């Protein structure tokens, strides 16, 4: 005889509030939709957390919220963005990504097919990065209190560098390497928002960066600072490093690779590609003596084959980032005060 069993919901084609209730439907959502789509079994998902023993004693820990709109864009989706975003953050700590946690905040009414597609993407992206989603959570908010779905990912990785890369370690004379062209992610997302995705060829740069970074580390390259370019783009990353290190950074406008189509769209819409978000680019600051070896290694890797030196660290203009423009003038970069493109990641 059954006891306390509210009327069952049969609407499994869309997310309902009951999918967030912690009962049968939550279990079905996780065990029948999310885990199989990620290529995992229910076994691993039992309990309140995951045992991640065996990673050693030197660990990095990182977390990101993802609210990108739309959920799918040329070159990726919110699922690949979450996996690459968090594994890239761990790589920037000089760590090999090992374990991920994924929290889903679903909006009531979201087609279950979307949940499934995103979960497939998470599973594929995780395998590409050699990590597994070992724990997580699933919540549902009422219709009109979300926007389809938000994903919060967090991850743990094993630090492989003797000294954690940090702005505090950069030094005058150090060179700044940029791993590839900037701004693709912003423009790819924008193209969908504006309904231009079929007229444009630009795909997001959304990509995993742990492999090229680990290649540098394992070759023994002396890395002072690593930073991936996300919200706020290259300019913000450089400003954060200059500010935290109390050193100056100078770079050449001409040295920054920007795809002509990205440049054209930015010009049209009054955006600045230097501040445009990337999701698969990073900068690496290191002694000038290490540069040529680092470039060789990075150029041997598909994601970073266009790596180049863009500038260097200076004693003067402490805390500032200066750009030599194409016209030969030197300008001080400022922080982004407003919002170029909301919900880009």
Identified binder of a copy of itself from the candidate list 80, 175, 204, 340, rule CB under 8 A: 340
| Closest approach of a copy of itself to the CB of residue 197, in Å | 21
Instruction: Tell me the pairing of strands 225-228 and 282-286.
Output: antiparallel
Q: Give the residue among 270, 274, 263, 259 at the shortest CA–CA distance from 331.
A: 274
Site for a copy of itself in 186-245 (CB under 8 A): 227-228, 230-232, 235-236, 240, 244
Q: Which is nearer to a copy of itself, 103 or 214 (CB)?
A: 103
Site for a copy of itself in 92-111 (CB under 8 A): 92-93, 95, 99, 101-105
| Closest approach of a copy of itself to the CB of residue 80, in Å | 17
| Binding mask of the shown chain, residues 280 to 309, with x at each position contacting a copy of itself by CB under 8 A | ------------------------------
Instruction: Tell me the pairing of strands 330-332 and 248-252.
Output: unpaired
The C-alpha atoms of residue 27 and residue 8 are separated, in whole angstroms, by: 14
Does the protein bind a copy of itself through residue 328 (CB under 8 A)? no
| Closest approach of a copy of itself to the CB of residue 62, in Å | 3
- The residue to which tokens 């880009």 are assigned: 344
Q: Which is nearer to a copy of itself, 126 or 323 (CB)?
A: 323
Rounded to 5°, the CA angle 308-314-315 comes to: 165
Q: Which is nearer to a copy of itself, 21 or 299 (CB)?
A: 21
Residues 42/30, Cβ–Cβ less than 8 Å = yes
Q: Which residues of 214-228 are buried (b: 16+ CB within 10 A; e: fewer)?
A: bbbbeeebebbbbbb
Site for a copy of itself in 122-181 (CB under 8 A): 134-142, 144-147, 150, 152, 154-157, 159, 164, 166-167
The stretch among 84-92, 111-119, 212-220, 302-310 that binds a copy of itself (CB under 8 A) is 84-92
The stretch among 178-186, 214-222, 308-316, 326-334 that binds a copy of itself (CB under 8 A) is 326-334
* Interacting residues of 250 by C-beta distance below 8 A, sequence separation 6+: 311, 312, 314, 317, 321, 322, 323, 324, 330
Q: Which is nearer to a copy of itself, 135 or 175 (CB)?
A: 135
Contacts with a copy of itself by CB under 8 A: the residue count is: 104
Identified binder of a copy of itself from the candidate list 14, 58, 293, 299, rule CB under 8 A: 58
- Cα–Cα separations (whole angstroms), residue 190 to 258, 314, 325: 16, 35, 26
Cα Rg, the chain, nearest whole Å: 22
Q: Which is nearer to a copy of itself, 112 or 140 (CB)?
A: 140
Residues 294/284, Cβ–Cβ less than 8 Å = yes
Identified binder of a copy of itself from the candidate list 48, 198, 220, 326, rule CB under 8 A: 48
Residues 104/148, Cβ–Cβ less than 8 Å = no
């Amino acid at each position: 005889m059954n006891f306390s069993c509210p009327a069952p919901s049969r609407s499994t084609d869309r997310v309902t509030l009951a999918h967030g209730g912690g009962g049968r439907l939550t279990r079905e959502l996780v065990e029948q939709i999310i885990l199989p789509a990620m290529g995992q079994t229910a076994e691993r998902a039992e309990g309140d957390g995951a045992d991640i023993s065996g990673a050693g004693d030197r660990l990095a820990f990182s977390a990101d919220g993802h609210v990108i709109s739309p959920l799918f864009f040329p070159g990726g989706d919110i699922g690949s963005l979450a996996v690459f975003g968090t594994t890239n953050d761990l790589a920037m700590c000089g760590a090999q990504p090992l374990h991920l946690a994924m929290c889903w905040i679903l909006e009531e009414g979201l087609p279950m097919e979307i949940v499934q597609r995103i979960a497939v993407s998470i599973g594929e992206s995780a395998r590409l990065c050699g990590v597994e989603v070992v724990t997580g959570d699933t919540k549902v908010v009422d219709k009109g209190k979300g926007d389809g779905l938000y994903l919060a990912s967090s991850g743990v990785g094993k630090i492989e560098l003797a000294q954690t890369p940090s702005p505090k370690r950069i030094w005058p004379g150090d060179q700044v390497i940029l791993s590839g062209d900037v701004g693709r992610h912003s423009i790819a997302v924008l193209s969908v928002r504006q309904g231009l995705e079929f007229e444009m060829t630009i795909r997001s740069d959304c990509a995993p960066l742990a492999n090229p970074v680990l290649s540098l580390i394992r070759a023994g390259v002396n890395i002072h600072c690593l930073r991936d370019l996300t919200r706020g783009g290259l300019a913000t990353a450089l400003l954060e490093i200059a500010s935290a290190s109390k050193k100056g950074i100078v770079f050449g406008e001409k040295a920054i690779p920007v795809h002509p189509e990205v440049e054209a769209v930015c010009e049209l819409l009054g955006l600045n590609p230097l501040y445009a978000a990337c999701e698969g680019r990073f900068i690496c600051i290191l002694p000038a003596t290490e540069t040529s070896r680092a470039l060789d290694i990075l150029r041997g890797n598909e994601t970073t084959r266009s790596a180049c030196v863009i500038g260097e660290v200076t004693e003067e203009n402490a805390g500032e980032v200066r750009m030599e423009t194409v016209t030969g003038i030197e300008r001080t970069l400022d922080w982004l005060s407003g919002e170029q493109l909301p919900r880009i990641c």
